[in-house]
A and B are shown apart, each in its own frame.
Chain A
Amino acid sequence: MESSETHVPFLVRDCALSAFSAGLRAQNLRELRDRLTEVSTDSIYYHFWGSRLHPGFEHPEYPNMFAAWVHRSLHDHRLGERLGILDPTAVPDLEALRQELIETIEQRLDETELVAWSAPDDQFYFLRSRLVVFDTPRTIAHPRALVEVLPVLSASSIFYHFIDARMRLPGLDDFRAWLLAYGDEFVGLVEALSEVDLFFVPLAELRQTLVSVVSTYFTEHSGPEA
């Protein structure tokens, strides 16, 4: 096993999101599909991920804004469920995610004869995101220090390292990528972190969930190797 001293520290970063109007909107399912073909991928990013950083209440039932709107405003619960289960981490990139969305909606359009409309003041507005990523003064020298650092990280820092990272590191997040550099030493913690279902945890609660996972791990692995 490699000595911990040889490893690079974890550089804590943070981010802030600017939301912009994409200038497109949809009032029914066909319009939603058509607009999806033309919006930029940063709009797909916003409605799946970035919205968690933007002022608003995270709808605990629907992890992306397309599913939430279809359910709440079009009252198409069947499609809402199908869109809600789309996993953006299971596709290689945002372009592939766009195709998944379009195909799911196409399938629903094939099944239905009538296209539901939303109220005029409840249309789907496509937004775009621009993410400002910045360093913080913090670094984490050793995984054990996660126990004391995680509780004081901002929610947006957690977002950057645990959620946004999945777009940068397919199948991973920044914490797990760092821990894996220690070889097998923290494989149990990597496994425990991989089981956190971030789709059901509002961003505000995610930090506490991670603190709990990391604290439990280091309590149970209090030997010298941890």
Chain B
Amino acid sequence: MDDKPLSSQESMPALRLEDYEQIVGPDIIEQLLQLAEPLKGQRIVHVNSTRVGGGVAEILHKLVPLTNALGIATSWEVINGRDEFYRCTKSFHNALQGNHVAIPKNLLKAYEEVNAANAEILRPTLADADIVFIHDPQPAPLISFFPERKGKWIWRCHIDASRPYRPVWKYLRGFTARYDASIFSLATFAQPMPNPMCLIPPSIDPLSEKNMDLSEPEIDRVCAQHGIDRQRRTILQVSRFDRFKDPLGVIEAYRLAKRFAHDLQLVLAGGSADDDPEGAAVLNEVYTAAAEDPDIHVLLLPPDAHRVINALQRAADIVIQKSLREGFGLTVTEALWKGKPVIGGNTGGIRLQVINHHTGFLVDTPEGAAYRIRYLFHYHEHLKEMGLKGKEFVRENFLLTRHLRDHLSLIHALRSGSADRIELHRVAAALV
């Protein structure tokens, strides 16, 4: 192993509960404080394998300081590995998503060795922790090295493991089954486990660059930089160039809708596909399909273009997420948060978020998407109403504060044995 595990304490920015209170309301913050009160004095540790990049790190950057702001000592540790370790865990990731990946024994050996070495370095932190959240497969074997552990250990699976490649899942289950509980994002993502399987959907941070409010001049500037005319109607899909996201289907839907909305523009925004041969092929097909239409804007954005994505989502009239297969679909959550109705593929977590006539429309074909684009432009008031409803829906269900509340509830549930109702009592109350 090259480096020591990294501890989070020095680099974590402090978060103010007041900032979130302005967005979610005082009742939600009050609720978090009440749930946190009996847990003061407990020590929570999160462990994953990267400090930057990826959804897990993005969540932990906010979740950890927010838990600390509630008065619960919480830290974040990152394990380090060598090249073989990361090759192995990349294969795990693909295998859990259903790809048939044979993993050589030497990679599995590296995986276990790296975890053994990290376990020794993290022993002082983890052995006495009250609650340990282990994120994804990378650090999953750590539990094997703590037979005398004091606290409750929870394995958090952020991956859609609904149809895993069985040999790999069988191997990983040897570790994950040892935990006191596991967390999956959706019921459909879960694999049978001998421990309690808690369901906690992901969340977005309303104060992050990707979701914070932006000024109109900034949105104008981003659109101008990318040749998007804000005087014209715009539909947008944000996603990597992947067949499961069906960008060609989106182009087809746009073409069908444009017959009735002549000023329509389509923006397809996603990351570069340089390291993904399949993605590069899809991107070429997209370029070919879009070639002769100046109103189709294909934008290749760097991974940190959060503010640009934010501006594009706010500039759009309708957001499309016409996936053929999808995990939870946080791009849908982001669009709803910006008050945009979403036309989404009838799959995965999109179904949980897009409700016909309320927050958008679920569709199965490009024709269906085109029809709903026309519908929303025709019933403009309905479009605005759905946007407002979608934003409130996210405020209630998919913000970081709800995510933290779910973690605290789970901790109480685990500390209380098997009762289906847990009663926490205060000492004194104030009269109104």
Pairwise interchain contact A18-B188, C-beta atoms closer than 8 A? no
Pairwise interchain contact B430-A137, C-beta atoms closer than 8 A? yes
**Complex: how many Å from CA A148 to CA B358?**
31
Known: A132-B35, A204-B392. A125 touches B422 (CB 8 A): no
CB of A152 within 8 Å of the partner chain: yes
User: Which residues of A sit under 8 angstroms from B188, Cβ to Cβ?
Assistant: 121, 123, 125
Q: Which of B166-185 contact A (CB under 8 A)?
A: 184
User: Which residues of B sit under 8 angstroms from A121, Cβ to Cβ?
Assistant: 162, 188, 347-348
Expressed in whole angstroms, the minimum distance between the Cβ of B423 and any Cβ of chain A is 5
**Complex: how many Å from CA A45 to CA B408?**
21
Given A21-B190, A21-B197, A57-B355, list of 18 further CB < 8 A pairs?
A19-B198, A21-B184, A23-B197, A40-B420, A55-B402, A121-B162, A121-B188, A132-B409, A132-B412, A133-B422, A134-B34, A135-B426, A136-B30, A139-B429, A140-B432, A141-B431, A148-B432, A156-B31
Which residue of A has the minimal Cβ distance to B389?
A57
Pairwise interchain contact A138-B410, C-beta atoms closer than 8 A? no
Known: A59-B355, A154-B27. A137 touches B423 (CB 8 A): no
CB of A7 within 8 Å of the partner chain: no
> Which residues does B use to contact A, with CB under 8 Å?
26-28, 30-31, 34-35, 162, 184, 187-188, 190, 192, 196-199, 201, 347-348, 351-353, 355, 358-359, 392-393, 396-398, 402, 405-406, 408-410, 412-413, 419-426, 429-432
**Complex: how many Å from CA A75 to CA B187?**
22
Mask for A111-150, Cβ within 8 A of B = 1, else 0? 0000000000111010111111111111111000100110
Q: Give chain A's interface residue range (CB within 8 Å of chain B).
A: 35 or more
Pick the residue among A57, A59, A130, A152 that contacts B359 (CB under 8 A): A57
CB of A100 within 8 Å of the partner chain: no
Known: A20-B197, A55-B352, A125-B188. A136 touches B420 (CB 8 A): no
**Complex: how many Å from CA A14 to CA B348?**
31
Known: A21-B190, A127-B199. A133 touches B431 (CB 8 A): no
CB of A42 within 8 Å of the partner chain: yes
User: Which residues of A sit under 8 angstroms from B419, Cβ to Cβ?
Assistant: 130
Pairwise interchain contact B413-A136, C-beta atoms closer than 8 A? no
Pairwise interchain contact A139-B431, C-beta atoms closer than 8 A? yes
Pairwise interchain contact B424-A133, C-beta atoms closer than 8 A? yes
Pairwise interchain contact A137-B422, C-beta atoms closer than 8 A? no
Known: A138-B430, A152-B26. A20 touches B422 (CB 8 A): no
> Which residues does A use to contact B, with CB under 8 Å?
9, 11, 14, 16-21, 23, 25, 40, 42, 45, 54-57, 59-60, 121-123, 125, 127-141, 145, 148-149, 152-157, 204
Pick the residue among A130, A134, A155 that contacts B396 (CB under 8 A): A155
Which residue of A has the minimal Cβ distance to B403?
A55
Known: A14-B31, A21-B199. A127 touches B397 (CB 8 A): no
Instruction: Count chain B CB atoms within 10 A of each CB in A16, A25, A42, A155 and give the residue with the most.
Output: A16
**Complex: how many Å from CA A45 to CA B426?**
26
